[in-house]
């Protein structure tokens, strides 16, 4: 896995992958290699989008985005746009989801490794 970040353009989307400029995403090595060949990406050590500290609403001008940019932004922030028929609905959904996520910032629970117990088969 590599972390890549779009450095030119507002967003980038291909089948099965989309991202927004300035937001790091984790991708498989083969996808990272293909993205790097476009000249629009860089390998980064930024935190992936799910771990970034800055609120999403501060990092993007959502109302000025085009359809593809809204879709990429929503995917990068795990926002479901199903049922949205136009950009106004997409913008409203994204802004409301971001508001909720910023208001209710619940720390991620750490997963504990399962404890193996010794079993006596005698």
Identify the band that residue 11 occupies on the pLDDT scale cut at 50, 70 and 90.
confident
Question: Quick check: is 29 in a domain?
Answer: yes
pLDDT at 121 over 90: no
Question: Quick check: is 111 in a domain?
Answer: no
- Give the pLDDT of residue 31: 86
Question: Quick check: is 122 in a domain?
Answer: no
The CB density around residue 48, as the number of other CB atoms within 10 Å, is 17
DSSP secondary structure string for all residues of 21-84: TT--EEE-HHHHHHHHHTTSEEE--SPPGGG--S-HHHH--GGG--HHHHHHHHHHTT---TT-
Number of domains within the chain: 1
pLDDT at 117 over 80: no
State the virtual CA torsion across 91, 69, 8, 49 in degrees, nearest 10.
70
Q: What is the domain extent for residue 63?
A: 2-101
Question: Quick check: is 106 in a domain?
Answer: no
Question: Quick check: is 119 in a domain?
Answer: no
Question: Quick check: is 22 in a domain?
Answer: yes
Identify the band that residue 108 occupies on the pLDDT scale cut at 50, 70 and 90.
very low
pLDDT at 62 over 60: yes
What percent of the chain has a predicted confidence (pLDDT) above 90?
Answer: 11
C-alpha pair distances (Å), 73 with each of 37, 107, 114: 22, 22, 35
CA-to-CA distance for 122 and 115, rounded, in angstroms? 21
What rounded mean pLDDT belongs to the chain? 75
- Give the pLDDT of residue 1: 85
Question: Quick check: is 114 in a domain?
Answer: no
**68-106 tens-digit pLDDT:** 888 888 888 888 999 999 999 998 888 888 766 655 544
CA-to-CA distance for 31 and 36, rounded, in angstroms? 9
Cβ pair 48, 24 in contact under 8 A: yes
Question: Nearest 5°: phi and psi at 2?
Answer: -130, 155
Question: Quick check: is 42 in a domain?
Answer: yes
- Give the pLDDT of residue 84: 92
């Amino acid at each position: 896995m590599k972390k890549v970040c779009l450095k030119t353009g507002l967003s980038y989307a291909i089948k099965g992958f989309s991202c927004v400029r300035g937001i790091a995403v984790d991708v498989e090595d083969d996808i990272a290699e293909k993205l790097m060949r476009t000249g629009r990406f860089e390998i980064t050590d930024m935190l992936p989008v799910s771990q970034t500290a800055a609120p999403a609403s501060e990092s993007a001008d959502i109302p000025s985005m085009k359809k593809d940019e809204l879709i990429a932004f929503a995917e990068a922030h795990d926002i479901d746009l199903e049922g949205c028929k136009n950009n106004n609905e997409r913008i409203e959904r994204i802004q409301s989801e971001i508001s909720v996520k910023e208001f209710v910032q619940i720390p991620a629970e750490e997963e504990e490794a399962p404890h193996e117990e010794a079993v006596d088969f005698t």
